[in-house]
Amino acid sequence: MSRTVIRGGLVITASDEMHADVLIEDGRVVALAATGTPTAESWTAERTIDAAGKYVIPGGVDAHTHMELPFGGTFASDTFETGTRAAAWGGTTTIVDFAVQSVGHSLREGLDAWNAKADGQCAIDYAFHMIVSDVNQDTLKEMDLLVEEGVTSFKQFMAYPGVFYSDDGQILRAMQRSAENGGLIMMHAENGIAIDVLVEQALARGETDPRFHGEVRKALLEAEATHRAIKLAQVAGAPLYVVHVSAQEAVAELARARDEGLNVFGETCPQYLFLSTDNLAEPDFEGSKYVCSTPLRPQEHQAALWRGLRTNDLQVVSTDHCPFCFVGQKELGRGDFSKIPNGLPGVENRMDLLHQAVVDGHLSRRRWIEIACATPARMFGLYPKKGTIAPGADADIVIYDPHAEQVMSVETHHMNVDYSAYEGKRVTGRVETVLSRGEMVITDREFTGRAGHGVYTPRSTCQYLL
Ligand code: URP
Ligand code: ZN
Ligand code: ZN
Ligand code: ZN
């Protein structure tokens, strides 16, 4: 039996803040006791971690990553090995990545392929959602089996015709199935059919620069798709989780649905909270570094996203980490923005950026933990194993220095990508030490973990329904 005690820190969960010591045995939290009390003082352990002056927080749960995703003729540049190591550096101890069903193939084949990519590679624990690109009778039956096995959420796309796209009928069928089997449909809500027309027209006018990616993927077309997804889910009697919400009009659709009492949830990402179309407009093709879908929006949308996070119309902040190098990958779209691979790096930056939001007064400390750890764990059936610090939980714990200053940069990050979306951004707060199931994976800002420590973690169904 191995025992560790974390002493003297401020333990923060979604519900509480307390100066407490944390006792860990064999990879799990066994007890918390107020610092200095006889109970805490009586604990002996092989290893003591001094957390005085630091926060002791649950490891981050990033419910939206795409390691090695095939996209636009290339692959996202982080492997499961490099991407999960970077996640650990950034205080994230669980990722839920997306296995992909390609058209003409089964869900099982996609899941097997993604399991093979991740197996033995990960520094932290991982799970999978399933991207459903080909809804047919076999797929619908397979969804039931996957839910039973612990793949309890399915992403569908209203965008990307000819690739991941599902039409309304396919979406309705998958939603009807998930209403029965307990699965959660995650929706990429953009009207891809209309967007493709606008892309064609823009290119015909010679509008080829990255900034036009933001212009053709209109906020109204995100709002329209969000509204349609909500109505389809309502007809099916199914819950709905809308991924990577960026437009204020889409937040309004979610808020209205929730006011009606529907089980409708929304996720946003740090890039929509901290970046804008100003970045997409950077000259010399630099804007390509900020091409993702849904796209970055004009700055004024950010206030609606922050408000949504405070009012719980948005419940989760995930990264949608999907990095492509500038050299050789983003450059595929020189002369045609529609060929720029979509996605931004960020798995290492999320916990810090959201802590900066605490410093800036957008969020309370407990809300920080709620949107980054606890709610993603509950939404995707990982709670209370993940997402909190409580007896019985996995000892996935971050010792966080709330006073350290850092400057985000490609020079210092650990993601396998040749730029930082936040280059030069100063933030207050930094991960110091990270435990994954009681093992030190980051120790005083040194990587002490290993590929293969992280294990596949099956999930129960959504624990967040109204
Ligand atoms: O641009 C993005 N978001 N790339 C990843 C794929 C997706 O749609 O989430
Ligand atoms: Zn096949
Ligand atoms: Zn998407
Ligand atoms: Zn994504």
Report d(CA 118, CA 351) in Å as an integer.
23
Position in ligand 1 atom list of the atom nearest CA 243: 9
Q: Is 320 in the pocket of ligand 1 (CB under 6 A)?
A: yes
Rounded distance from Cα 147 to ligand 1 centre (Å): 23
Please name every residue paired with 184 in a beta bridge, in sequence order, or none if there are none. 153
Kindly report the protein residue whose alpha carbon is nearest to atom 8 of ligand 1. 293
Is residue 342 in contact with ligand 1, taking CB distance under 6 Å? yes
C-alpha distances in angstroms, 336 versus 47, 202, 213, 289? 56, 10, 10, 14
Q: Which two tokens stand for residue 242?
A: 């809308």
Domain ranges of the chain: 59-379
Which pLDDT score is estimated for 413? 98
> Is any ligand 1 atom within 6 A of the Cβ of residue 188?
yes
Is there an atom of ligand 1 within 6 Å of 133 CB?
no
pLDDT-based confidence at 35, cuts 50/70/90? very high
Q: At what angle do helices 301-311 and 248-259 cross, to 10 degrees?
A: 30
Percent of the chain with pLDDT over 70: 100
Span from the CA of 50 to the centroid of ligand 1 (angstroms): 40
pLDDT tens by residue, 126-152: 999 999 999 999 999 999 999 999 999
Confidence check: pLDDT of 181 > 90: yes
Ligand with the closest atom to the CA of 110: 2
Q: What is the CATH architecture of 59-379?
A: Alpha-Beta Barrel (3.20)
293 within ligand 1 shell (Cβ under 6 A): yes
Q: Is 156 in the pocket of ligand 1 (CB under 6 A)?
A: no
Ligand 1 atom at minimal distance to the Cα of residue 157: 8
Alpha carbon distance 43, 452 (integer Å): 31
What would the pLDDT profile of 282-336 be if each residue is shown by its tens digit?
A: 999 999 999 999 999 999 999 999 999 999 999 999 999 999 999 999 999 999 9
Q: Whose CA is nearest to atom 4 of ligand 1?
A: 343
Ligand 1 in contact with 190 (CB < 6 A)? no
Residue nearest atom 3 of ligand 1, based on CA coordinates? 293
Which residue, by CA, sits nearest to atom 5 of ligand 1?
343
Task: Provide ipTM, 2 decimals.
Answer: 0.95
How far away, in angstroms, is 381 Cα from ligand 2 center? 29
- Whether 91 contacts 123, CB under 8 Å: no
3-class DSSP state for residue 50? strand
Tokens linked to 153: 């959420």
Q: If you average pLDDT over every residue of the chain, what do you get?
A: 98
Q: Which two tokens stand for residue 179?
A: 């209403």
Question: What does the alpha-carbon distance between residue 322 and residue 345 come to, in Å, rounded to a whole number?
Answer: 6
269 within ligand 1 shell (Cβ under 6 A) = no
pLDDT, residue 67, reads 98
Taking CA atoms only, the protein residue closest to ligand 1 atom 9 is 320
Pairing between β-strand 264-268 and β-strand 240-242 as defined by DSSP bridges: parallel
Nearest to 385 by CA among 87, 84, 11, 29: 29
Distance 416 CA to ligand 2 centre (A): 30
